[in-house]
Amino acid sequence: MTKAIIAGAIAVTLIAVTGAQQPASQQPPAPPPQQPSEIVTTISGEGGAPPRLAVPDFIPLSPDAETAAIAKTIGQVLWDDLNFEREFSFIPRDTYASIPRATSFTDVPFDRWRELNADGLVVGTVQKVGTTIKVEMRLFNVRTGQSAFGRQYDGTAANPRLFAHTISDEIHKTQRALNGVARSKLTFDSDRDGERMSGTVQNRSIKEIYISDYDGENQRRVTVGKTLNIAPRWSPDGRAIAYTSYRRGGANIFISNIFQGTLDEVTKGDRVGENWLPAWSPDGTRIAFSSTRDGNPEIYVVNRDGSNLRRITNHPGIDITPTWSPTGNQIAFTSDRTGTPQIYVVGSDGLNLAKRSSDGYCDRPTWSPAPYNEIAFSSRSGPGFDIRVIDLVTGRSSALTNGEGTNESPAYSPNGRHIVFTSTRSGKTQVFTMARDGRNVKQITRTGNNEKPDWSK
């Protein structure tokens, strides 16, 4: 639903595909009345292989340096965005130099791109129009020289990367029927600003909530608590973040409405004990969390406004770290009722409890989105932790990390194909992403300690 945020920033126009199908001739396009059309064709690779794409820099149509820089940025970011999902293979960018650069959609040297075995070619233009920029793109089928897909975007020059993210998501959607994650966002807690908690004994670093783009760009702080604000979770609509805050002394659940700058207090009043680790229900109306209000850490569910509290677990062991199933009918959580912490699943009505893990010490379950039916978690392996996944159909668990530092706190991307997690493999605790098979590990944060990440829905 991050798209809802974006909608206001960039206006999108579907290019009339029929009008854009220009072979590489110098014939000026006949000006038929351009009706917006949803006709989109897909590009396939040779013999079922992934299509091979070329993504050169976009073409600046305005002569100024800013437009040139934006055109370059969009091309590079789009390449990274498309590469992230591994749905296409790519013609390396350093081989493009031998090919004459197009100056518009009408002088693309398709024969030269065919020599490089490209199946698809993304061509885009960037033009300054007053205070906004106009970005136009075509995905050409290199074999036929026809446009498979085209769009025009208007928006501010403040964040050129957003044009690339939007184009990438649309190419994945139309060409591969895939919900890309280029416009999704991450959130995590961090002590990077080095601020100290006032009035306490020790020299303690406070932690605040930060957000960033999925690729780690545009990292921004969203809380000012001068205390511990930890374990943030995106609301399903991408407009709010629930987290655990110590601003009242003990731990409580707060919601920051980050685009309004307002704060909601979910757990308040006397004798509410400690309240940790909120998790949004898939429809965003309820929050599961762990609380000691009845004397022992148990799982509770409450409406977003703090009403209608219901207790889900009832055991003298520790029950903590809830996560919802994609349908909202079940909750997975951590319990040490049999000794070591293990992953359990229970109905959101508190019935049908089942233990699902059998590894040594397991915590921070995160339920994958459909169509994957699995739970990722961190599990002790030797001195540290590794990220593991349980397949809920077979019950089998497998490791995604293998002892490179200690690895914790997994969370799924909205399409279930990636996992964000923390690792100490580069020194301090940092946020990383990886594909759901453990490949393509990418470091997201580099300053301070960054922990307990979540991925927008």
The C-alpha atoms of residue 314 and residue 328 are separated, in whole angstroms, by: 20
Residue 150 or 322 with smaller CB distance to another protein: 322
Write the single-letter amino acid at 96.
Answer: Y
Task: Please answer whether residues 448 and 431 qualify as being in contact, where contact means their C-beta atoms are separated by less than 8 angstroms.
Answer: no
Q: Count other Cβ atoms within 10 Å, centred on residue 387.
A: 26
Which of 271, 283, 345 lies closest to 313 in space, CA to CA?
A: 345
Least distance to another protein, CB of residue 184, Å? 22
Among 141, 325, 378, 445, the residue binding another protein under the rule CB under 8 A is 378
Residue 237 or 336 with smaller CB distance to another protein: 336
Site string for another protein, 260-279 (x = CB under 8 A): --------------x-xx--
The C-alpha atoms of residue 211 and residue 186 are separated, in whole angstroms, by: 6
Least distance to another protein, CB of residue 346, Å? 17
Residue 385 binds to another protein (criterion: CB under 8 A): yes
Residue 74 host element (H or E): helix 65-84
With 0-12 / 13-18 / 19 or more C-beta atoms within 10 angstroms meaning exposed / middle / buried, residue 395 is exposed
The C-alpha atoms of residue 441 and residue 456 are separated, in whole angstroms, by: 19
Residue 230 binds to another protein (criterion: CB under 8 A): yes
Write the single-letter amino acid at 252.
Answer: N
Least distance to another protein, CB of residue 454, Å? 12
- Between strands 250-257 and 407-412, the pairing is unpaired
| Cα first-last separation, the chain | 6
Write the DSSP assignment of 145-166 as a string of letters: TEEEEEEEEEEETT-THHHHHH
Which range in 9-17, 126-134, 349-357, 378-386 contacts another protein by CB under 8 A?
378-386
Least distance to another protein, CB of residue 312, Å? 15
Residue 207 or 418 with smaller CB distance to another protein: 207
Least distance to another protein, CB of residue 433, Å? 18
Residue 21 or 379 with smaller CB distance to another protein: 379
Angle of the 161-176 helix axis to the 65-84 helix axis, nearest 10 = 40
Which of 426, 390, 422 lies closest to 408 in space, CA to CA?
A: 422
Which range in 103-111, 113-121, 246-254, 391-399 contacts another protein by CB under 8 A?
246-254
Q: Which residue has the tokens 């959130």?
A: 187
Site string for another protein, 333-372 (x = CB under 8 A): -x-x---xx-------------------x-xx--------
Which range in 49-57, 114-122, 223-231, 346-354 contacts another protein by CB under 8 A?
223-231
Residue 63 or 383 with smaller CB distance to another protein: 383
399-437 CB burial, b ≥16 within 10 A, e <16: ebbeeebbbbbbbbbbbbbbbbbbbbbeebbbbbbbbbe
Residue 310 binds to another protein (criterion: CB under 8 A): no
Residue 86 or 221 with smaller CB distance to another protein: 221
Site string for another protein, 388-427 (x = CB under 8 A): ------------------x-xx------------------
Could you list the residues that contact another protein (CB under 8 A)? 199-202, 204-205, 207, 228, 230-231, 244, 246, 249-251, 274, 276-277, 290, 292, 297, 318, 320-321, 334, 336, 340-341, 361, 363-364, 378, 383-385, 406, 408-409, 451-452
